[in-house]
């Protein structure tokens, strides 16, 4: 979907601890950290350290949706960081 000149990407965010998921609409310039923050707030999770992966690829929190190569319909998974924060 294109709104004005901004492309909206729809992704599914899955909580690996509960198995629940939610849909998000993000722009290409959205940082992965913003997705993490939104997911943690949505599920009222503690602010412990989390990672996001898409398939087998861990996504850098400082990268954007576009830089991470996320595409419409992708599923990303929220995981506790085994090394902590």
Torsion over CA: 4, 37, 59, 78 (sign): negative
pLDDT tens series, the chain, 85 aa: 444 567 899 999 999 999 999 999 999 999 999 999 999 999 998 777 889 999 999 999 999 999 999 999 999 999 988 776 5
Structural domains for the chain: 2-80 (3.10.20.90)
Tokens 């950290």 identify what position?
33
Question: Is 15 in contact with 79 (CB distance < 8 Å)?
Answer: no
Cα–Cα distance measured from residue 35 to residue 51, given in angstroms and rounded to the nearest whole number? 10
Cα–Cα distance measured from residue 78 to residue 51, given in angstroms and rounded to the nearest whole number? 6
Q: Which two tokens stand for residue 45?
A: 């999770």
């Amino acid at each position: 979907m294109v709104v004005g000149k901004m492309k909206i990407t729809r992704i599914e965010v899955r909580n690996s601890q509960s198995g629940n998921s939610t849909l998000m609409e993000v722009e290409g310039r959205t940082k992965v950290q913003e997705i993490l923050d939104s997911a943690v707030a949505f599920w009222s999770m503690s602010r412990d350290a989390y990672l996001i992966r898409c398939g087998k690829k861990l996504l850098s929190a400082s990268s954007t949706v576009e830089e991470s190569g996320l595409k419409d319909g992708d599923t990303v998974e929220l995981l506790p960081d085994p090394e902590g924060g």
